[in-house]
Structure 1
Amino acid sequence: SLATALTLVPMLSSRLIKVSAEPDPKSKRLTARLYFAIGKILSTIELFYKKLLAAALDNRGKTALIALLLLLAAFVLTRSIDSELMPMSDEGEVRVSLDMVAGTKLELVDQKMLEAESRIKDMPEITSIVASAGGGGWGSSNTGSLRISLLSKSDRARSDQQIADEIRARLGAIPGTRVRVFAVSNNRLTRVMGGGGGRIEIQVRGHEMDEAYRLAGIIMQHVESVDGITDVNLSRTAGAPEDLVIIDRVKAAELGMSVQQISATLETVLSGRSAGDYLDHGKEYPIMVQVKDADQMPIKELLDLSVSNSDGVPIVLRNVVSTQSGESSTVIERVNQERMIDVSANISGRNLSAVIGDIQNRLDEIPVPIGFSVEIVGDYKEQQESFRELFIGIILALVLIYMVMASQFESIRDPFIVMFSVPFALIGVSLILFITGTTFNIQTYIGIIMLAGIVVNNAILLVNTTNQLREHDNMKLREAIEEAGRRRLRPILMTALSTVLGLLPMAIGMGEGSETQAPLARAVVGGLLSSTLITLVVIPVLYSAFEGGLRDKSWSEK
């Protein structure tokens, strides 16, 4: 656009723009009426601005104080605006994850999946349901999932989150199951596809897993009591049933048997053991020795097997081993080589920052044993890291903008005056986010970074024009300030309104998935409007203070 503005626009202007006489005021043509109507509106705006600027220059201290109070009010208002990593968008899809006790037969899981389908298939917003019972990849036989496609956003009255809430209520009463419902959004599609955790994740770290499991259970109960929390889940659930075979080393040694000999016998019975290879026509086939139907052998029969000791005397296994029934963990997770249990949850009807605040208050009430740590991760941790990096980006953008202006103005003071227009954009940003209920998120911060480069343009026009009038036309300071404001009012309003109108459809949030981009547009629109209106008054006042002195009563004659 810069190259076009410097080359193509001047050429087209010389060819296409023609100077014509002013239309006859008595003409009844539509173009003439429109011309005079717009001219009358702009003249009224210019007259109002002239009086406003004169009053501001006559009361520079009060003007600066009002601007400062507005800025402080904006900072206070930002405390009432929630934050999140990314805005949730309505993608028209809901996922359901169904878990049963480890070891549940696939046939029973399939029955529960059919029951779940029958409970929700009459909902009018649902267009299709894809069900999957049993695990593949990371899944297991005791799990199932539903992929529910919805009507387009414009064809339904409820949001995907409201539909997910109803689905959760309908499926919550299925006996023997744990149901989690996710409204699929762009920033967690991968996590949902994997059937993973929710937007909130709390890691409990420690080497003693039984104590960590107890602590995670307490945290889970506290998290469930927070308003807006749904689908609370533990990453470590009840494992598959197993029988532990414990070798009595003392008895084995007294009977002339080694631990390796006993374990090798058990391995041969249950898993099989290589007995060499069979060679047939140049091909080798491994020979495995194993008890027939060993996986279905009762534990009592296994203990009745005999093993010969070092003297060749057969010893029954039950004389040297004992069994203990228990459960095995289906998943073992570690973070930085430390065992970890993850407590995950989803959010419904509230923003991330508000829920995190309540959860943190609950966690502060829980005593954490020595050697254990509790940390909130997931979207919250990503949000903190992203916001920190974006804040650095904003500071870097401001420094670069100042350096560019300093080189162009060949002055340190004039760019400093121009930079005062940036913080006043926060007034409009905070106000429009508060009114529309929009959160601070990554898109909002990107919009603020864009604002830093946009809002200084208006102040540059005012300061540059004022300098030219003082240098080339030898105008007094106040006269140059007022004349610069009058001359640059229309270009400033034109550029600001054209940008605002161009972003208005995005700010309104038209179309599916628009929730993701709307915060960016709203931040730019609000910041540009407030910065433009305040800049037209405050920048001339600041310019007069820097050039003529704040207490010098004869500043206007300089």
Structure 2
Amino acid sequence: MTLALYGDKDLVTLRDLADNIVSPEVQRADGVASVGVTGGRVRQIQILVDPSKLQQYNISFSTLTSALGNDNTSTDAGLVNKGQQLVPLHIDGEFKSVADISKVQVQLGKGQTIALGEIGQIIDTYQDVTLEARKDGQPSVSLSVLKQSDGNTVSVSDNIQKAVKEMQAKLPEGVHVAVLSDQAKFIRSSLNTVVEHTLMGGVFSVIILLLFLRSIRATLIIGMVIPISIISTFSMMYFGHQTINTITLGGLALGLGSLVDFAVVVLESIFRKRHEGMSPEEAAKAGTAEVGTAVMASALAQIAVFAPTAFIDGLVKQFFWPMALTVCFSHIAAWFAAVTLVPMLAAKILRGKVDEELPKGRSVNPMVWFGRALQGITNVYSRLLRWSLTHRWVVILVTVVLFGASVYATRFIGSELTPKTDQGQVNLFVNLPQGTDFDVTNKVASTLEERLKSVPEIDSVFTSVGSAGGGAFQSSATNTANIQIMLKPIGERKKSTDQVAEQVRGLTTGFTGAQIGVNVPSGVRLPGLGGGGGFGGGDIQVNLSGPDLAILQKLGDLVEEEISSVEGTRNVQNTLDRAIPQFNLTVDRDAAAHYGVSLRDVMTALRTAYQGSVATQFKTASTQISVLVKYPNDFTNKLENFNNISITTSSGAIIPVSLIAKVEPGTGPAQIRRQDQNRVASVQASVFGASVGEVSAKVKEKIDAIQAPDGYQVTMGGQQQSQSSSFQSLYLILILSVVLVYMVMASQFESLYGPFIIMFSLPPTFIGAILGLLVTHRTINMNSIIGMIMLVGIVVNNAIVLVDYTNQKRKAGMSLPDALMEAGKVRLRPILMTTATTVLAMLPLVIGFGEGAETQASMATVVAFGLSLSTLVTLVLIPVVYTLLDGWMDGVKKRFKRKPAAIQDSGATASS
């Protein structure tokens, strides 16, 4: 989470409030690991040393810092008797005022000392401004908050929000704390969207059941099973150490149809037995026994789909494993409820008269209308099935043509690693030439802020100019700026985040010498090289590696030019895009060795001279102020003064740096990175108006045509690399899932023949899935492939119910055609019921309205369309395949019977 403290106070006051009120309050919130404060003005005591005095008195910087540290300390000297008590003798040697610092004595040798005030000027001031922040144009201080590793993002966010509300009363009037970015916000909205869609899907399912069964009591049974199954699923999630998130809730939403499916199949069978005249108890037993094997096979098939997930790793497992566990838990709960709770409730509730006959004449009852429509559908299906059984090869040919067309259609569907989510945030990065004055950078950022006011979709703008510096030898950068743009909620704007980002790009022209990038944050962190040059990465990334930086620069320029020519690319940036001016210092190692000076001694001396060294801390009542020793700026700004900087040798002598080093003007890269002992760089680009997969494929064609010199490599990286490896893992899971489903069904049916027929329900699934993605203009991504894997377990349900009942009728003495006709007629209603409930449960997710809905939309689309088309085709295709394979098996059996007979006849002839 990032907070902004802003208002009508000066930057000194804002920083003081941030350090002493806001940061401590936030730090105390449960789950917070650290709070970093940046911006504002920080008080600092600077000792500007006179270089000539140092040379005159032969004093080094290390002597000064040691003197300051030694003179600013407190300690206990021992214990003193006071009557019968031992009282500590405390020596308080800490600075009480700035004037005390000027009185510090610096050793000159031979027992002589000199006051620090005579060597340099001591001023009570503020740190040099290298960073400035603004919230909607007002001065601001930002606070970045990190949670503890085991903390829950939403819980920690709630704790911080509560702390922010409480601390607002402690702040002066006109000063406010605003939340700039909060990872929990998108999580909350996404969860709410999935919950709303799941509840809507549940309501649709109950309505469908009521229309099909035309019984409030029967619908009530299903209505009781759904929440019990969901609660049982949450219980198993708790013991499985799973959290409620968009992935697990999405899995539960997708599994909601199955929660109903099993119960519907059992209840419909019991309902039919009651109609045949059985008592409630007898109907419950007989009805459950009739479909028990089919329900068990369906549950195990859907659980088996996720078994291969245990053998994979990486990004796919992070996404897939929580969903796999949730769906498995939900199916276990649904199966157990279907074979225990549903029969018990049916035996107790379905005690009234069960009459499925529809009333004659006109009726205003919608259930009667629906019942008559269902009767008409059943009659039409019976005629279609009879026609299909006499025109079997026509059905096979149509199915093959549709499957081939869907395979061909995949080239018109884009691909990406994960669906893009509209998080309502756009980041704008500004890079000016290295060494650009802070005020110039600030002016560019201010101009961009003014231009952004013309975009109505923008809610707030937070600007950060410059940086605060970093590690031991990293200086602050005054040539960069970062503008974080927060958009209005998705329901209050007409444009998507990508469209706003494109509009913002159009406002960044006209700044000579500036690199300005616009980036839309992604919900997924990808492995590989990160964004270089402060531009935060991109959708497309091409990695370059090789030994020579100059050749990499030329290669990067060529790749950048090629990527820029690909339609759909934006914000193309090369991490080696420009050399920066610099002064190169070369140390004469022989001279350094002669004087006993190491390279680190030189580095430390120069950094202390030019950037200063914090010698000690000046403590006040509320805070600690750093005491910085440095040369005056008017001295360090002139290169010719380099020769006057001194360094202490190993013998204690002080010599000028010019004796062991020389400085020459030159240029250097803004950034140097290595991987596997090679220098590396990357060219990155954002994508607009197309899928990442489409653009990546075109970019790959371009870079494959580039002939890289020996020892150099040009490869696709970033999202494309992750997408390729993830898709391979998912396709492997898909294949293994098909095999495991067949094995599970074979064990349940104790036959290889029946499950083989059922597996023919899978090809129509692919047809429906591709059709759904085409119609809704969605992409092939991790979520949609996971949806296809889930479909492997879902779509076989209908075929299992149909084939199992057909086998039962054949055992009762019916011929195969009659058994198929009877099974189709009897099982049509439960098949349509289960399909309709699952598809309607998915419908809100397919439509995909609300924040974060994009995450589950492609998966729901694949499931809904794949299941719908598979059901329609399966009702005709499975009986046709059954008769074809049965005829083929009969032919094989007759052939084997003839051979033994022929052998027996030849043996009889020989004996005679």
- Please indicate the TM-score interval, normalised by the length of the shorter structure: 0.7 to 0.9
Shift of the 546–41 alpha-carbon distance from structure 1 to 2, 3 Å rule, reads same
Q: Match of 1:336, as an amino acid? A: D
Report 1:269-418 matches (<5 A): 270-271=606-607, 296=636, 298-303=638-643, 323-418=663-758
Report 1:114-129 matches (<5 A): 114-129=446-461
Shift of the 519–394 alpha-carbon distance from structure 1 to 2, 3 Å rule, reads same
1:142 paired with 2:482, answer no
Report 1:400-549 matches (<5 A): 400-471=740-811, 473-549=812-888
Give the Å deviation of 1:27. 6.8
1:7 paired with 2:7, answer no
Please give the alpha-carbon distance, in whole angstroms, between the structure 1 residues aligned to 2:767 and 2:573: 41
| Aligned match for 2:425, one of 83, 90, 93 | 93
1:132 paired with 2:464, answer yes
Counterpart in 1 of 2:121? none
Please give the alpha-carbon distance, in whole angstroms, between the structure 2 residues aligned to 1:30 and 1:551: 52
In structure 1, the residue corresponding to 2:412 is in which secondary structure? coil
In structure 2, the residue corresponding to 1:170 is in which secondary structure? coil
Please give the alpha-carbon distance, in whole angstroms, between the structure 1 residues aligned to 2:349 and 2:655: 108
Q: Please say if residues 358 and 371 of structure 2, whose CA atoms lie closer than 8 Å, have aligned partners that are also in contact.
A: no
Please give the alpha-carbon distance, in whole angstroms, between the structure 2 residues aligned to 1:189 and 1:407: 41
Give the Å deviation of 1:293. 6.5
Please give the alpha-carbon distance, in whole angstroms, between the structure 1 residues aligned to 2:809 and 2:863: 31
CA deviations 1:192-235 (Å, max 9, x no partner) are 99852111111100011111111111111111111111111122
Report 1:95-114 matches (<5 A): 95-114=427-446
Counterpart in 1 of 2:364? 30
TM-score calculated relative to the size of structure 2: 0.54
Please give the alpha-carbon distance, in whole angstroms, between the structure 2 residues aligned to 1:168 and 1:221: 19
| Runs of 5+ consecutive residues of structure 2 not aligned to the other structure | 1-333, 471-475, 610-614, 616-627, 895-912
CA deviations 1:131-167 (Å, max 9, x no partner) are 1111257783321111111122122111111111111
Q: Match of 1:433, as an amino acid? A: L
Q: Please say if residues 636 and 642 of structure 2, whose CA atoms lie closer than 8 Å, have aligned partners that are also in contact.
A: no
Please give the alpha-carbon distance, in whole angstroms, between the structure 2 residues aligned to 1:141 and 1:61: 75
Please give the alpha-carbon distance, in whole angstroms, between the structure 2 residues aligned to 1:371 and 1:20: 81
Shift of the 25–225 alpha-carbon distance from structure 1 to 2, 3 Å rule, reads same
1:81 paired with 2:421, answer no
Shift of the 259–411 alpha-carbon distance from structure 1 to 2, 3 Å rule, reads farther
In structure 2, the residue corresponding to 1:480 is in which secondary structure? helix
Please give the alpha-carbon distance, in whole angstroms, between the structure 2 residues aligned to 1:482 and 1:402: 25
Counterpart in 2 of 1:225? 565
Q: Please say if residues 238 and 327 of structure 1, whose CA atoms lie closer than 8 Å, have aligned partners that are also in contact.
A: no
Q: Please say if residues 462 and 488 of structure 1, whose CA atoms lie closer than 8 Å, have aligned partners that are also in contact.
A: yes
Please give the alpha-carbon distance, in whole angstroms, between the structure 2 residues aligned to 1:550 and 1:11: 42
1:69 paired with 2:408, answer no
Shift of the 23–426 alpha-carbon distance from structure 1 to 2, 3 Å rule, reads closer
CA deviations 1:338-391 (Å, max 9, x no partner) are 210111110011111211122122213322111000011111111011111111
Report 1:205-244 matches (<5 A): 205-238=545-578, 240-244=580-584
Please give the alpha-carbon distance, in whole angstroms, between the structure 2 residues aligned to 1:316 and 1:463: 94
Give the Å deviation of 1:512. 1.5
Q: Match of 1:59, as an amino acid? A: H
Give the Å deviation of 1:128. 0.7
Corresponding pairs, count: 532
Give the Å deviation of 1:239. 5.1
Q: Match of 1:61, as an amino acid? A: W
In structure 2, the residue corresponding to 1:492 is in which secondary structure? helix
| Aligned match for 1:19, one of 353, 356, 360 | 353
In structure 2, the residue corresponding to 1:523 is in which secondary structure? helix
Please give the alpha-carbon distance, in whole angstroms, between the structure 2 residues aligned to 1:195 and 1:243: 26
| Runs of 5+ consecutive residues of structure 1 not aligned to the other structure | 278-287
Of stretches 393-402 and 480-489 in structure 1, the one that deviates more from structure 2 is 393-402
Please give the alpha-carbon distance, in whole angstroms, between the structure 2 residues aligned to 1:53 and 1:290: 93
Please give the alpha-carbon distance, in whole angstroms, between the structure 2 residues aligned to 1:394 and 1:124: 46
In structure 1, the residue corresponding to 2:486 is in which secondary structure? strand
TM-score calculated relative to the size of structure 1: 0.86
Shift of the 6–26 alpha-carbon distance from structure 1 to 2, 3 Å rule, reads closer
Please give the alpha-carbon distance, in whole angstroms, between the structure 2 residues aligned to 1:29 and 1:55: 33
Q: Match of 2:421, as an amino acid? A: S
Report 1:31-70 matches (<5 A): 31=365, 34-70=366-402
Shift of the 137–195 alpha-carbon distance from structure 1 to 2, 3 Å rule, reads farther
Please give the alpha-carbon distance, in whole angstroms, between the structure 2 residues aligned to 1:234 and 1:384: 23
Counterpart in 2 of 1:197? 537
Q: Match of 1:15, as an amino acid? A: K
Report 1:150-189 matches (<5 A): 150-187=487-524
Please give the alpha-carbon distance, in whole angstroms, between the structure 2 residues aligned to 1:440 and 1:29: 47
Please give the alpha-carbon distance, in whole angstroms, between the structure 2 residues aligned to 1:445 and 1:404: 22
Q: Match of 1:370, as an amino acid? A: D
Q: Please say if residues 784 and 862 of structure 2, whose CA atoms lie closer than 8 Å, have aligned partners that are also in contact.
A: yes
Q: Please say if residues 557 and 577 of structure 2, whose CA atoms lie closer than 8 Å, have aligned partners that are also in contact.
A: no
Counterpart in 1 of 2:81? none
Give the Å deviation of 1:504. 0.5
Percent of residue pairs identical: 35
Please give the alpha-carbon distance, in whole angstroms, between the structure 2 residues aligned to 1:522 and 1:264: 62
In structure 1, the residue corresponding to 2:462 is in which secondary structure? strand
Please give the alpha-carbon distance, in whole angstroms, between the structure 2 residues aligned to 1:486 and 1:268: 89
Q: Please say if residues 102 and 238 of structure 1, whose CA atoms lie closer than 8 Å, have aligned partners that are also in contact.
A: no
CA deviations 1:31-64 (Å, max 9, x no partner) are 3xx3432232112211211121111111222221
Please give the alpha-carbon distance, in whole angstroms, between the structure 1 residues aligned to 2:600 and 2:803: 89
Q: Match of 2:679, as an amino acid? A: R
Please give the alpha-carbon distance, in whole angstroms, between the structure 2 residues aligned to 1:265 and 1:335: 29
Shift of the 134–501 alpha-carbon distance from structure 1 to 2, 3 Å rule, reads same
Shift of the 362–39 alpha-carbon distance from structure 1 to 2, 3 Å rule, reads same
Please give the alpha-carbon distance, in whole angstroms, between the structure 2 residues aligned to 1:142 and 1:179: 12
In structure 1, the residue corresponding to 2:576 is in which secondary structure? coil
In structure 1, the residue corresponding to 2:507 is in which secondary structure? helix
RMSD: 3.5
